[in-house]
Amino acid sequence: MARSARKPELSAILDSVADGVFTVDRDWRLTSFNKAAERITGVGRADAIGQPCCEVFRASICESACALRETTASGKPVVNRPIRILAADGRSVPISISTALLKDSRGRVIGGVETFRDLSLVEELRKELRAKYTFGDIVTKSAKMREILAVLPQVAESGSTCLIEGESGTGKELVARAIHAASSRAEGPFVAVNCGALPDTLLESELFGYVKGAFTDARRDKPGRFAQAGGGSLLLDEIGDVSPALQTRLLRVLQEREYEPLGSNTTVKADVRVIAATNRPLDELVKEGAFRQDLYYRVNVVRLVLPPLRERREDIPFLVEHFVDRLNRLRGRDVAGLSDEALALFVRYDWPGNVRELENALEHAFVLCRGGLIRPECLPDSLRPSTGTSLASTAGLTLEALEARAIRDALQRHGGKRVAAARELGISKTTLWRRIKRLNIAVPSDE
């Protein structure tokens, strides 16, 4: 009776633990499954008990290197081994696991116990600190962006100089980091310098470094960004703002793969992959005489043009979900997302600051919203309707209305040509025609 009375008490103790805990018998079937295990895996206790652990705890090591089997065979526990599991909703969740043998009062092995800790927050913070991104971190449903993502692996593998064009806040540095992370230089440093943030004289020393005595305050040698990026990648952000004189020096680096630090006569090899970025189309600057044509050809080996957010409004709900989830994890909050009225305001806004502005707007909302849904009053003034304007006009913008708007915008950009619009939207012409009829969208005749 005493042992039976202890079972509810033991269950209550396990349910109070923040880490997931489960036990198995000698046949590897689950005999207990605490609340944290339910939360992390997304599997209910009633569905888990009695099932083989590999069918519930879908880990990357289940088939080849099961930690519990290893512990059973060796008698030694596994401690804090990092692995990934597949949650019930399809998410890949990083965890760390520890295992031990489960013995009865006589010391006989009757099964095993495994504890596991969700490392999602740790992984997110590690990404924040290291700023290392992969293609999977670029959140998009846009056909235009998917076309760009499709070629990024080849661009990364090529090692060629790359030019990324797009308005401020469209994610140029994120794409540059993704290219670096997927390249053969991924183990090397990624160094970024904003060419438009520094005056010409400072930018030259920042890029190429200087030697002791090069100027009055040069009391010691200082390596430049090209040296710091050795073996890795160098992002020259806002390259369109570089002066003609400094453009000449950059041209030599790209042609000869060497440079001289300020005040030095010694040539230094530049073992870097250069990625250039600009919010001003360089071909137009060439026509205006503000950018050297020969340098343009050197940086424009591979060119990627990122569309502004107003041209890919279908991404807005997914970006909102991504950033809300991220902010919840980083700040330990439980904000459910945007209300219908707030989402309507997000979709209708033109986002001149693009994705960066959208993220900042959500951070602003997190300060004012204590929980539940983010409502319009929590948004920055720039998104909210002016005084006297009713929210009723924006409240009815459903996902169906959003789909209709995306189709109208695509048709307008292509002059009513349904084939071109369907290609941009990533659907067939037949599917587009069915949606046009279902949504009652009036379009010009296709040529």
Identify the pLDDT of residue 1: 39
CATH number at residue 87: 3.30.450.20
Q: How far apart are CA 50 and CA 110, in angstroms?
A: 15
In a domain, 415, yes or no: yes
- Tokens describing residue 361: 């707007």
Q: How far apart are CA 390 and CA 405, in angstroms?
A: 21
In this structure, the answer to whether residues 163 and 299 fall within a common structural domain is yes
Identify the pLDDT of residue 130: 47
Beta strands in 212-364 (DSSP E): 233-237, 258-259, 268-269, 273-278, 302-305, 335-338
In a domain, 207, yes or no: yes
In this structure, the answer to whether residues 153 and 283 fall within a common structural domain is yes
Domain span holding position 358: 310-395
Whether the full predicted model's pTM is greater than 0.95, yes or no, is no
Question: 261, 290, 307: which is the final residue of a domain?
Answer: 307
In a domain, 86, yes or no: yes
In this structure, the answer to whether residues 142 and 96 fall within a common structural domain is no
CATH number at residue 410: 1.10.10
Identify the pLDDT of residue 58: 85
Q: How far apart are CA 85 and CA 90, in angstroms?
A: 9
Identify the pLDDT of residue 297: 95
Identify the pLDDT of residue 213: 67
In this structure, the answer to whether residues 59 and 40 fall within a common structural domain is yes
Identify the pLDDT of residue 447: 46
In a domain, 445, yes or no: no
CATH number at residue 265: 3.40.50.300
Q: 409: which residues sit within 8 A by CB, 6+ positions away?
A: 311, 313
In the chain, the number of structural domains is: 4
**236, burial (CB in 10 Å: exposed 0-12, middle 13-18, buried 19+):** buried
- Tokens describing residue 375: 């409502």
For 95, 135, 309, 348, 375, the CA distances from 382, given in Å and listed in that order, are 40, 31, 16, 12, 14
Identify the pLDDT of residue 429: 80
In this structure, the answer to whether residues 202 and 220 fall within a common structural domain is yes
For 90, 176, 330, 331, 332, the CA distances from 118, given in Å and listed in that order, are 15, 30, 14, 16, 14
Q: How far apart are the first and last CA of the chain?
A: 84
Find out whether 152 and 178 touch, Cβ atoms under 8 Å.
Answer: yes
In a domain, 177, yes or no: yes
pLDDT one digit per residue (tens) for the chain, 447 residues: 344 445 667 778 888 888 999 999 999 999 999 999 999 999 999 999 999 998 888 887 777 788 898 999 999 998 888 888 888 888 888 898 999 999 988 889 999 999 999 988 777 766 655 444 446 567 787 888 888 988 999 999 999 999 999 999 999 999 999 999 999 999 999 999 999 888 887 898 899 988 886 666 767 888 899 999 999 999 999 999 999 989 999 999 999 999 998 888 889 999 999 999 999 999 999 999 999 999 999 999 999 999 999 999 888 988 898 899 889 888 878 788 888 888 889 988 999 999 999 999 999 999 998 777 898 999 999 887 654 444 434 344 455 666 777 788 778 878 888 888 877 776 778 778 888 888 888 776 554
Question: 360, 376, 395: which is the final residue of a domain?
Answer: 395
In a domain, 244, yes or no: yes
Where would I find the H helices in 257-315? 282-287, 293-299
In this structure, the answer to whether residues 160 and 285 fall within a common structural domain is yes
